[in-house]
Amino acid sequence: MHEHKARVQGACGCGYSVAWLAVEGHHSTYHMREDFMERRELLTGMAIGAAGIAATATPTAQAKSSNSIELSAQKTYPGVEGKMLVNKPRAYAVLEQFNLDGVIVLNPINVYYFTNTTPTMTKFRSDIGGLATFARDPKQPSFLISSNPQAWDIVNGDREVPELITYSGALNWENPTPEQRKIEPKAMTSGYTVRKGVKLTEREQRWADAQAKYNSTAVAGPAWAIVKALKASGLTKGRIGVDDMRIKYLLDEIGFEGITIVPAENIIRYIRMVKSEPEVALMRVAGFNNGIATMNTIKAIEKGMRFDDIERRFRAECAALGSEMTSFLAGVTIGLFPDGEAVPGKAFLIDAVSHFRQYHGDFSRTVCIGEPPKDVIARAKANKVGRDAVAEAIKPGVKFSELTKIGFDAQVKAGMPREILIVSPHTLGLEHGDSPFRIEGPYSKPADHVLEENMILTVDLPYIEVGWGAGHNEDLIRVTKTGFEYFNTLSEPLEIV
């Protein structure tokens, strides 16, 4: 028997599509427009048990208002808080495998992965919001590179972070010649005002001390900050991987030489593909949140609802649990509803993706409003056969191609028309598709990955036929030492509403 852990049943709340957020007294609630229904139900609560995975949503005995979704009171998540995310042993091994001495990253998800931080300027959608360096040599330091004010966030001390290098702007540096660009300018040192003669709180004192420290050591911009980090890490020579070739441009602009820069977007995905313990804990929450939010959304669907109404509901259900929507499909995949709205008796898929602290859950089901036709039931049964066959095969050492064949053959044998089937395994994490592609040549191609412990994946099992409709089943799964563990509540592939 494979491991089947964390199958937690969550009751589904129904209500209205979200219009705006308000706060009433001590209760934060999403208020909703009465577009379609007059149900008197309320989603409330979610708890993660001490074991780390029990996620539940239960209706209150008496709803305070008939059209609101109550926010989760969950504050802490065992195994998640404050720990560094990067899987260091795997990172060292992968960098050695690809002969890289280190990496410099600019992509926000990679900066978050290596530093446990999303810089404020990244949140502002700045072109270069922050960077990170990571050395293959475990004895060398790694760095978060960000603007000066980020120091305040770091010294709050709410999580583990690498060393910080800050940058500001350049003084007296206008219209430089190419040769002048190679000379490091002086950095600006302005900061926030600290009132004199008052006793600062402990946290305020840390801010003031950090500002004084990092203002005095800041460099004139991100390019010079990268150079400072490379020098401090012993990485001024050798092969350095980057996830964004703008890094090469920055270094070329200031004339920094000595390293060979290698595109490494997929190499970094090879690192991220096997999760660290804190990542597993985050993805457990992400998966259960996503499954609960999706099921609550499905139960709220009624005849005549438009895609926008259903998507808005899903967005609200995610927010109530502390997650954020990434992507949502309802209908016949990307084309959405063939009639422009949900129609009784026609099968359609729901494919829902959300993230919790940047880590993704992915969950899909087939939906039918009212009594489903016989062929809808038959195809859903075949879909379940395929799902169960794939799940039973999941364990370390199995290839993606084997899962694909097992899922396809099992469904066809159970009566599913082969021409409408898609079977597609993929890992998840900081991206919906965390799986690296084959990296040789100019054209990407999926690699036939081999399952390892603490890979987290789904196997897409959609079936699509224009003129008929669509169905789907997808669950989030962690690979264990001997089998697998579901990261969402397991339910029937067909949901009748």
Tell me the domain boundaries of the chain: 88-272, 276-496
List phi, psi (to 5°) of 125: 65, 30
- Range name among 118-127, 169-178, 384-393, 463-472 with the lowest pLDDT average: 169-178
**110/116 Cα distance (integer angstroms):** 9
Output the pTM of the full model. Answer: 0.85
Q: Show the tokens assigned to 158.
A: 């709410």
- 421: nearest Cα among 435, 432, 436, 410: 410
DSSP string, 129-169: --EEEEESSTTS--EEEEETTHHHHHHT-SS---EEEEE--
Average pLDDT over residues 26-44: 31
Mean pLDDT of the chain: 86
Torsion of CA 152, 156, 160, 163, to 10 degrees: 30
**147/170 Cα distance (integer angstroms):** 13
Superfamily of domain 276-496, CATH level 4: Creatinase/methionine aminopeptidase superfamily (3.90.230.10)
Q: 43 near 69, Cβ under 8 Å?
A: yes
CATH 3.40.350.10 fits 88-272, yes or no: yes
Residue 228: how many CA atoms within 13 Å on its side-chain side?
21
DSSP type of residue 436: P
pLDDT digits (tens, 9 = 90+) for 192-217: 999 999 999 999 999 999 999 999 99
pLDDT digits (tens, 9 = 90+) for 9-23: 333 333 222 322 332
What length is written for the chain?
497
Q: Per-residue confidence at 439, pLDDT binned at 50, 70, 90? A: low
Give the pLDDT score at 333.
Answer: 92
Q: Show the tokens assigned to 120.
A: 């404020």
Q: 119 near 147, Cβ under 8 Å?
A: yes
Beta bridge partners of 263: 242
- Range name among 50-54, 106-110, 124-128, 482-486 with the lowest pLDDT average: 50-54
- Range name among 65-69, 363-367, 399-403 with the lowest pLDDT average: 65-69
pLDDT digits (tens, 9 = 90+) for 302-342: 999 999 999 999 999 999 999 999 999 999 999 999 999 99
* Positive or negative torsion for Cα 377, 378, 379, 382: positive
Average pLDDT over residues 211-225: 93
**CB proximity list for 442: less than 8 A, separation 6 or greater:** none
**470/467 Cα distance (integer angstroms):** 9
Domains 88-272 and 276-496 share a fold: no
